[in-house]
Amino acid sequence: MEISFKDRKLKKLHEDGLALKRKYGDLQAQRIVQRINELLSAESLFDISKLPQARLHLLKGDFKKCFALDIKHPYRIIITYLNGDPSDLKSITQVKIIEIIDYH
């Protein structure tokens, strides 16, 4: 699957493991990297939907047209799809990481 980032700041944060640990802590940083690696190795979003620990779910409201992936409670990785149809997860092969937040 192809992954892009909302902005350079978010991409740089992902590439700098130390900065990621400083911002989110060791365990969260490990889980963030794990989820992104899972996205990279998947052929489509359908593959991610089969991972129970990721708990992929479609969002509503302010994050309409976005999905969330669990990291460690309460944080989520918010992604949006760049191709395909959300009703057919096999058709989604390009995503953009929007945020890593606690939206609760």
Q: Where are the domains of the chain?
A: 2-101
Please give the angle made by the CA atoms of 98, 31 and 11, to the nearest 5 degrees: 35
Q: Residue 54: its pLDDT value, please? A: 95
In the CATH scheme, what is the code of domain 2-101?
Answer: 3.30.2310.20
CB 73 within 8 A of CB 12: no
Kindly report, residue by residue over 83-101, the tens digit of the pLDDT: 999 999 999 999 999 999 9
Strand partners, 85: 88
Kindly report, residue by residue over 38-78, the tens digit of the pLDDT: 999 999 999 999 999 999 999 999 899 999 999 989 999 99
* pLDDT (average), residues 12-26: 94
Q: Residue 104: its pLDDT value, please? A: 73
**34 has a pLDDT exceeding 90:** yes
Q: Residue 103: its pLDDT value, please? A: 77
